[in-house]
A and B are shown apart, each in its own frame.
Chain A
C-alpha cells in the first residue's frame, strides 16, 4: 500500500535559517504529492503540490520538487520566519482518484527569534 515517511520533529531553527524537511514515499502508479501546514488548534491548509515527476511546487517562499527516482518530495525554504512555526504534513494521493490522502506523521517546526 501507499505510505509517507517524513523526518521526526520537533525541528528548531533560528529566524532566517534555511529549512529542509525530508519526505519520502512508497506508492503504486503515479501519485500526486502535497505539503500541508497546520497551525495550533486549526485544520490543515494546502501549502503546495506537484502532480508529476520533476514538477516543482512553490508557495509563500516554500518549494518542493517531485523526485521520482528517489521517491522524495522534500520541503525547503531559504529564510524562515517566526510565523512559519507550525506542523507540516507531507501527503500523497493515489492515481485512482478521490479515495483519500495518505499522510506522513507530521513535522513540528519551531522558529526562534
Chain B
C-alpha cells in the first residue's frame, strides 16, 4: 500500500530543544517537500528536495534543517532557533503528472507543540 508516513502524529518538546520529524514515502517519487500550517495561514513551504543529496530553501527555512540521504526519506529538524515552532507540519512528495503538473501527495501530518 503506497503512501507517505509521518511520525509521530503528536510531538511535545520543551523550548530550547531540537526535534526531528520523520517523513517516509514508498511512492518512488523523486521530489519531497515540507510545509508548515498555521491556523488561517494556509501552507507555507519550508524546504524541498528534487533529488537525493540535494535540497533548497523554501519561503520560511530559517530555524529549520533537512537532509535527503535516501530517496524514501526526508527528515525535518526544528531547531531551537525557530522562534514559533508550534504548528502542524506536513510532508509531501511528487512526480511529474500528465502534462508536467507535479501534483503533490501529502502525509497525515505531525502536530508539534513546544512549551
- Name the residue in A34, A43, A52, A105 with the highest tally of chain B Cβ atoms < 10 Å from its Cβ: A43
Which of B44, B101, B106 is in CB contact (< 8 Å) with A49?
B101
Contact mask B1-25 → A, CB, 8 Å, 1/0?
Answer: 0001010000000000000000000
Interface residues of A in 4-40 (CB under 8 A from B): 32, 34, 36
Q: Are A100 and B33 in contact (CB under 8 A)?
A: yes
Q: Are B30 and A98 in contact (CB under 8 A)?
A: yes
Residue total for A at the interface (Cβ-Cβ under 8 A): 23
Are A98 and B94 closer than 8 Å at their CB atoms? Answer: yes
Closest-CB distance, A26 to chain B (whole angstroms): 15
6 additional contacts (CB under 8 A) given A32-B99, A51-B101, A106-B42: A42-B108, A44-B90, A97-B96, A99-B56, A101-B43, A103-B42
